[in-house]
Chains A and B, each alone.
Chain A
């Protein structure tokens, strides 16, 4: 891959993300045995014993704007709102997400409802600004089942007098999951000074719902 002249890289969108996985740099698929198992590896439900219920399981995400709080104060309005917005937020990534995934796990069975809203936007091109917008609003459920197939790998250990065989690793299991969800979303670039967005902003509409409406949602 390193030798490829035209590698394709783009941010991967996850249906839901485990905070623990985020902290581990997403090296998580083999050990995703928390309440997000169904989103990473349904087969790990086989490790589950007993029953667990997570009634809400909320998640929030926000741009780290601690050092740029002034950007978000007194948002511009009026006749030059569009140009002021562009000047203030040019090349500044803005991210917002909120979601919840209540669910339960009982033995090898798991079920999660989910609702998740993610918005990621950035103004580009200071000559004729464009709004790059990635927006997703997902609602649905995911259900899964895992079946333990065996006891995992075996290895031998030789001592002075005998040779002992022991299980060295986790059990082999097979998992299945089905999901159904409704998604509204876009991943596109919009002309800030084109007719659609400009009309909304010129007339005082700077809320997300009004901007969404002007983009056709």
Chain B
């Protein structure tokens, strides 16, 4: 059979006894020209596979799969799947949040219930900012906050995200940000406020306040702090990891800024999400609106020039911008954080 064709044709026509290298070439060409998926179809399949992993609780497999294809900042479904894969590793579940946690939000007034969420009460490693579950939550939050490829030097607002996504996708991203913010804030408050059952200073720590307020010189702010209803009445009862006297200034500011960013993000997303998705368990979260509004009123009355601290959702800006001094951050903590949990 191998002699049935001229020598010149033997290399391109299958004539029986085809050499292995020819088979390989044909196979390679076949693979190149077969009915392969488009990039979008392949990405859709990756997302579906990741969601199947998440359904089985295989968070790490979902992360590996989604990270393998590279960050797709323009694809809302990809970003949500990736964010919730990290959130999965942090022990988060939207189903649990809606089924059992959201209704606790204001159960210990004003928002002490946040610190009793399922994800808040698990034990954490010290320092808290390096706790793997908290790091994963912040990673998930940042993936969605900066969705679309928003620069790290830009405030990740809804209007920024609307430049890259439809109103529907942006609304869904905002809702996801809100859920992650609620659990992140609950965890942050649970640890730094040393809570038990949502009550500040009731834990095994020695602090009654989030941080020390040594930089505050404003008598109005100090007066407002002393008039707070909660356990924090003095300026030197800080959580050890936020203590002015023992923690290096940049480290302390970084940790404080995490709280600022989380709370400001909650303040920015809560009204818009509630406006478009009312009812159900979310009604419990709407109680947060009243508590936050009340705390904001106290803050702006005591410090009308609070400025960027009360609005920034960008960790880098909070840490590095000269318009966000530590004193202003302490004002924010004294009258916002201390006012939200008693």
B84:A203 contact, CB within 8 angstroms: no
Q: Is A208 an interface residue (CB 8 A)?
A: no
Report A198 CB to chain B, min CB distance, Å: 5
Partner of A193, one of B54, B88, B94: B94
Pick 18 A–B contacts, CB within 8 A, sort by A.
A5-B31, A6-B37, A7-B37, A8-B36, A79-B283, A80-B280, A125-B55, A127-B93, A127-B95, A189-B77, A191-B175, A194-B171, A195-B276, A195-B277, A196-B276, A198-B280, A199-B279, A202-B280
Q: Are the CB atoms of A79 and B31 closer together than 8 Å?
A: no
B174 contacts the other chain (Cβ, under 8 Å)?
A: yes
Per-residue contact bits, chain A 55-85, to B (CB 8 Å; 1 contact, 0 not): 0000000000000000000000011111110
Are B279 and A202 within 8 A (Cβ)?
A: yes
Q: Which of B69-122 contact A (CB under 8 A)?
A: 77, 80-81, 84-85, 87-88, 92-96, 98-99, 103
Q: Say whether chain B's binding surface is mostly helix, strand, loop, or mixed.
A: helix
What is the minimal beta-carbon distance from B186 to any residue of chain A, in angstroms?
17
Residue pair A202, B54 in contact (C-beta under 8 Å): no
Q: Are A195's CB and B54's CB within 8 A? A: no
B160 at the interface (CB under 8 A from A): no
User: Provided the pairs A3-B30, A124-B48, A128-B94 are in contact, do residues A195 and B35 lie with their beta carbons within 8 angstroms?
Assistant: no
In the assembled complex, the Cα of A79 lies from the Cα of B276 at a distance in Å of: 16
Measured between alpha carbons, how far is A127 from B42 in the docked complex, in Å?
22
Whether B35 and A7, one on each chain, are in contact in the complex, defined by CB atoms closer than 8 angstroms, is yes
Q: Which residues of B contact A189 (CB under 8 A)?
A: 47, 77
Min CB–CB distance B52 → chain A (angstroms): 7
CA–CA, A86 to B93, complex, Å? 12
Closest CB in chain A relative to B322 CB, distance in Å: 37
Residue contact B34 to A198, C-beta cutoff 8 Å:
no
Q: CB < 8 Å: which of B35, B52, B278 contacts A8?
A: B35
A6: B residues at CB distance < 8 A: 34, 36-37, 42
A129 interface hit (Cβ, 8 Å): yes
Against B, the Cβ 8 Å flags (1 = close, 0 = not) of A2-15 are: 01111110000000
Given A83-B281, A129-B94 in contact, is the A7-B34 Cβ separation under 8 Å? Answer: yes
Contacts of A4 in B (CB 8 A): 30-31, 34-36
How far apart are the CA atoms of A91 and B55 in the complex, in Å?
Answer: 8
Chain A residue contacts of B37, Cβ below 8 A: 6-8
- Name the A residues within 8 Å of B276 (CB-CB): 195-196, 199
B280 contacts across to A, CB distance below 8 A: 78-82, 198, 201-203
C-alpha gap A212/B222 in the complex (Å): 54
Interface set, chain B 160-201, CB cutoff 8 A to A:
168, 171-172, 174-176, 179
Least Cβ–Cβ distance between B206 and chain A, in angstroms? 37
| Contact in complex: A195, B174 (CB < 8 Å) | yes
Collect the chain B residues with CB atoms within 8 Å of residue A80's CB. Answer: 98-99, 280-281
- Please, which residues of chain A bring their CB within 8 A of the CB of B88? 127
Bound complex: CA A203 to CA B282 (Å) = 11
**B119–chain A nearest beta-carbon distance, Å:** 12
Confirm or deny: A87 has a beta carbon within 8 angstroms of a beta carbon on chain B: yes
Contacts of A128 in B (CB 8 A): 54, 80, 84, 87, 93-94, 176, 179
The residue of chain B having its C-beta at the shortest distance from the C-beta of A81 within the complex is B280
Interchain nearest-CB distance for A79 vs B (Å) = 5
Residue A149, interface by CB 8 Å:
no
Which residues 22-58 of A sit at the B interface, judged by CB distance below 8 A? none
Residue A155, interface by CB 8 Å = no
Least CB separation from A198: chain B residue: B277
Determine whether the beta carbon of B54 is less than 8 Å from that of A125.
yes
Among B48, B95, B168, residue most surrounded by chain A Cβ atoms (within 10 Å): B95
How many Å lie between the Cα of A191 and that of B178 in the bound state? 14
B222 → chain A, closest Cβ, in Å? 41
Residue of A nearest to B50 (CB): A125
Q: Is the CB of B283 within 8 A of A125?
A: no
Shortest beta-carbon contacts, A-B, top 6:
A202-B280, A194-B172, A202-B279, A4-B34, A125-B51, A83-B98
